[in-house]
Structure 1
Amino acid sequence: MTQALKKTPCYHLHLEADAKMVPFAGYDMPVQYALGVKKEHLHTRAAAGLFDVSHMGQLRLHGTGAAKFLESLVPVDIIDLPQGKQRYALFTNEQGGLQDDLMVSNLGDHLFVVVNAACKTQDIAHLRAHLPEDVTLEVLEDRALLALQGPLAASVMARHVPESSAMVFMDSQVLNFAGVKCIFGRAGYTGEDGFEISIPAEHAERLTRLLLAEAEVEWVGLGARDSLRLESGLCLYGHDIDTTTTPVEASLLWAISKNRRTDGLRAGGFPGAELILDQIATKDVSRKRVGMKGLSRAPVREGAELFNAEGEKIGIVTSGTAGPSCGFPVAMGYVATHYARLDTEIFAEVRGKMLPMQIAKMPFVEQRYFRG
């Protein structure tokens, strides 16, 4: 027997909006609405898209040793993360591979952590397996998570939460939204300005309706969320990064804090550190994650194999889309390091045809985070 799919606190709102629902990470989730994936994508780039991401894992780490503990599992500076700020982090394994990527916020009296939906069970087990006596893990099962994204997201949010206007990219604060204390992070997964909002489940439907009542706001499903993040050069765990890829292979060196990779008291100390730090020092990796621009009109999807001009296999595509905002197909994937230079022409095999592609800089569209 198959296990019943879980429902987010906004489930009935999706049905009300005639969403097409699909199974995703154990949840019944909206993949698209009446607008369709392309129009939802373009609406987010032009106005404000509202995403239900309540399937993600929301956790709290309490205790004076919480930052030191979490820092022992990630190659990121958590101890010096300022109160009211958040940071992108990576769970690494002993082989240097990536177990998940996550967001960590310092809310003063605790750390607020958001992990990927498909990985949250293993992430919770991973944290519990290493938990010291002075740290408590709280798994939040009673909260929704919404993302309001797009160039008009900030003006919409300011009508309901004026204090949100003072926030800049990667700020994280507890603010009052229509009488409810919610956790606001000025960040997102689209490359656009916006907010991720953690809401107590019993208030989720009412607050969501307030946002949907705004003229600029439209529901956006998982389909457009995927094409938006790919245009913005952002990895999807389980596709572009996984336990077999290291941060160096994945071109995520920027996500390893400087004080965790240079000589000093806090360098290393995370799973797989020896291998990862050696790769950073030597730059000796056999493959690299790259962006690719399609030189033909046909999109190249995940799983397409990549070849050089001589017909030798050199890599694979891990994500691909038609590029609704770009006007040309875009993809990311892994190629042998020798072929990772910008403007190198390679070929993707699609239905027996060799389609030309060019190694291109990511993001494919300008990221418009609000930095003040």
Structure 2
Amino acid sequence: MSETIDSQAHSDDGYEEPAILPLPLDAWHRAKGGRMVEFAGYHMPVQYEGIMAEHLWTREAAGLFDVSHMGQLTFTGEGVVPALEALMPADIAGLAFNRARYSLLLDAESGILDDLMLTRQAEDRVYMVVNGATKYDDIGHMIEQLPDDITLNLMEDHALLALQGPKAVDALARLIPGVADLVFMQAAAFEWQGHALWISRSGYTGEDGFEISVPAEAAEALADVLVAQPEVKPIGLGARDSLRLEAGLPLYGHDLSPETTPVMADLGFALFKRRRETADFPGAARILKEREQGAATKRVGLLVEGRQPVREGAIVVDAAGKEIGQVTSGGFAPTVGAPIAMAYVPAALAVPGTRVQLQQRGKPHDATVAALPFVPHRYFRGVK
């Protein structure tokens, strides 16, 4: 396939992730008091005034997240839809223009290489957002798999901002008329101060909100006018993680990996009916068998007793102390007011209400399997 990635260092074997880089808003974060950490190859703000306060502000008002580390890709060319469908179980052909869809990049053995969001912008054009930590691996994999007449473009000249929370629509509509007409998983092109924006009503917190693709040169000006709105504060990675955990949303590299299948990960909703019937996506035979018969292990939520958070890597044990599962994400949930976690456990234990025991650094923690999400999603799907 053809591709238009110019600035990414690469070897004969494919594309390699570069050294730690600044985001377009690096100086802006530091000026706002952001405490910077290394994440996914970039310097990123983990917090500003504190994770707990930022988490609760987002649940009550609106938080601005810089997610420019994510990979923004476009795919163009005749036959782009069937070409992408050969890599994932999404029904892209059945997707209306400017509608977004969650999907999974799969390997031949049914393992998850990444989870992603895609939008069908036109007959021969698809926009996609992939995880920052895996974007170069994703690009390499897709370049190998896609036909030569499909062009992949990495939008390195664009930033990506996420405005999340129940008051996000009030703040953004004040600046960009028309965004309030979007519903969950719908996107459209807008203009702001002469700059072309691509805005989707989506996000990673469980709240209503928007993701805004903006030229990097305009990102700071847009961030400034957004945080000038009374509903909006800048929010760091720490609260982004606790918000997505409460929302029961998996994080690639933690809750998802090539060792997990969509059925194990409780992501069966991403296996669309037409694609199940044609069974022509990677790993289809195993995935459809697991869908029919059930997977041996399953991702579940856990409510942890006490106040001590249980972190990734803690083990789930049976009555004899034998390891039977592992925590993949965990922490204190400010909205819930208690520690929560996600883990993979045997299917027989994946029933809400089941009691389990966790061990972290040799210390036992009692927990109960809970239905996901821990906090109800509040996506805007239209007039009630």
Deviation string for 1:319-358 (max 9, x for gaps)?
A: 0011111011110010111111110000111333211100
Q: Secondary structure at the match of 2:96?
A: coil
Deviation string for 1:265-317 (max 9, x for gaps)?
A: xx22111111111211222x221110001122211111101113342322110
Equivalent residues of 1:178, 1:207 under 8 A apart: no
Equivalent residues of 1:106, 1:172 under 8 A apart: no
Equivalent residues of 2:226, 2:232 under 8 A apart: yes
1:126 to 111, 132, 141: 141
1:275 to 280, 286, 289: 286
Give the partner amino acid of 2:292: A
Structure 1 gaps, min length 5: none
Residues 158-173 of structure 1 correspond to what in structure 2 (within 5 A)?
158-173=173-188
| Identity in percent | 49
Give the partner amino acid of 1:95: E
Partner of 1:290: 300
1:47 to 58, 61, 66: 61
Residues 1-372 of structure 1 correspond to what in structure 2 (within 5 A)?
4-33=19-48, 35-108=49-122, 110-262=125-277, 267-283=278-294, 285-372=295-382
Q: 1:242 and 1:217 mapped to 2: Cα distance?
A: 34
| RMSD over equivalenced CA pairs, Å | 1.3
Residue 162 of structure 1: how far off its partner (Å): 1.4
Q: Secondary structure at the match of 2:21?
A: coil
Residue 173 of structure 1: how far off its partner (Å): 0.9
> How many residue pairs are counted as aligned between the two chains?
365
Give the partner amino acid of 1:157: L
TM-score, length basis structure 1: 0.96
Q: 2:217 and 2:364 mapped to 1: Cα distance?
A: 53
Residue 161 of structure 1: how far off its partner (Å): 1.0
Q: 2:143 and 2:137 mapped to 1: Cα distance?
A: 10
Deviation string for 1:110-144 (max 9, x for gaps)?
A: 21111000110011111111221332111111000
Q: 1:133 and 1:91 mapped to 2: Cα distance?
A: 19
Partner of 2:14: none
Q: 2:195 and 2:42 mapped to 1: Cα distance?
A: 26
Deviation string for 1:158-191 (max 9, x for gaps)?
A: 0011110100000011111233210101000000
Deviation string for 1:206-234 (max 9, x for gaps)?
A: 11111011111111111110000000000
Give the partner amino acid of 1:225: R
Q: 1:325 and 1:27 mapped to 2: Cα distance?
A: 29
Bigger shift: residues 290-299 or 187-196: 290-299
Q: Secondary structure at the match of 1:55?
A: coil
Q: 1:252 and 1:10 mapped to 2: Cα distance?
A: 33
Q: Secondary structure at the match of 1:90?
A: strand
Deviation string for 1:60-81 (max 9, x for gaps)?
A: 1111211111111001101111
Give the partner amino acid of 2:214: I
TM-score, length basis structure 2: 0.93
Give the partner amino acid of 2:91: D
Q: 2:268 and 2:72 mapped to 1: Cα distance?
A: 26
Equivalent residues of 1:304, 1:317 under 8 A apart: yes
Residue 4 of structure 1: how far off its partner (Å): 4.1
Q: Secondary structure at the match of 1:261?
A: helix
Deviation string for 1:229-287 (max 9, x for gaps)?
A: 0000000000001000011111111111111113xxxx22111111111211222x221
Equivalent residues of 2:84, 2:146 under 8 A apart: no
Give the partner amino acid of 2:46: V
Q: 2:18 and 2:75 mapped to 1: Cα distance?
A: 29
Give the partner amino acid of 1:61: F
